[in-house]
Amino acid sequence: MAHASQRLPAVAGLFYPADPHSLHAQVAGFLSAAIPAEVVEAPKALIVPHAGYIYSGAVAASAYAELVRRRDVIRRVLILCPTHRVAVRGMAVPAAQSFITPLGAVAVDREAWLAVREMPGVLVDDRPHAEEHAIEVQLPFLQTTLDHFEILPIAVGQVDAHLVAGVLEALWGGPETLIVISSDLSHYHPYRQAQWRDKATIAQIRQLDATLDGEQACGAGAINGLLLAAHRHNLKPHVLDLRNSGDTAGDRERVVGYTSIVFSGDTDRAHH
């Protein structure tokens, strides 16, 4: 089957600057403004938003800033996102071997790709990835905070959360592997109502309650899979930021919620 080996940017110039210098400056600015969190252990997983950078870049940066100390440790990033444009039954990994951004190419981890395509619920399909922004907008942050890394991009459609957790478990690895879940929270509610809804969603995530639905978070399927795996691996969520577009760059009539959460190891259990 013929396929393009590179997945080209779909939202450069729309969600973030297409010019590499402007893009690097903007990402660096978000990261330097992020307040360092008191996360004890090394981050294993992040939940970060995926709107245009003027809306959610500052929120995402608070999680990505946690990676800077690990820049030479993290080598593989599993990035899971919802499907905004192409409906998928199961989870789709691309045939493309690299993802291009204005900051350069990011290779797809071949070993992880070969392993995951054999797993239940996983199919190989470039179409859900071609126009999807939710993974693309994370890449410049990773390119800025990490040194040498490869990715496994997974577009999560309609699929049982246990299958998502199974993929995460299979590729869990050690400190070299990071999991990134790309998700926004509630969509298009008035400002106060959105705050109330998103706080309830965050409370559920703190409890590792893997029953989120698409109204609470567009990446609910991927988040639920992470919460199941986090429970098994004794990860603790640390909420670094919770805001919405009414706080950052939009009006307050119809807002989109954004959060930044880092999951890290429970220090008490780390040595057992």
Q: pLDDT digit string (tens) for 23-48? A: 999 999 999 999 777 765 789 999 99
Question: Which tens digit of pLDDT belongs to each residue from 176-212?
Answer: 999 999 999 999 999 999 999 999 999 999 999 999 9
pLDDT at residue 270 in the model = 41
Nearest in space to 102 (alpha carbons), one of 182, 29, 17:
17
Instruction: Grade residue 221 by pLDDT with cuts at 50, 70 and 90.
Output: very high
- Strands, DSSP E only, in 186-234? 187-189
Helices (H) and strands (E) in the chain, counts: 10, 12
CATH H-level, domain 20-188+199-265: superfamily: LigB-like (3.40.830.10)
**Cα→Cα distances 92→65, 80, 83, 262, Å:** 28, 10, 9, 25
| Token pair 């919802």: residue | 82
DSSP 8-state symbol, 37? P
169-179-139-70 Cα dihedral, nearest 10 degrees: -130
Query: Residue 236 corresponds to which tokens in the numbers above?
Result: 């603790």
Q: What pTM did the predictor assign?
A: 0.96
Q: What does the domain layout of the chain look like in residue ranges?
A: 20-188+199-265
Dist CA 243 CA 254 (whole Å): 13
pLDDT at residue 266 in the model = 60
Dist CA 167 CA 122 (whole Å): 9
Indicate whether 267 pLDDT > 80: no
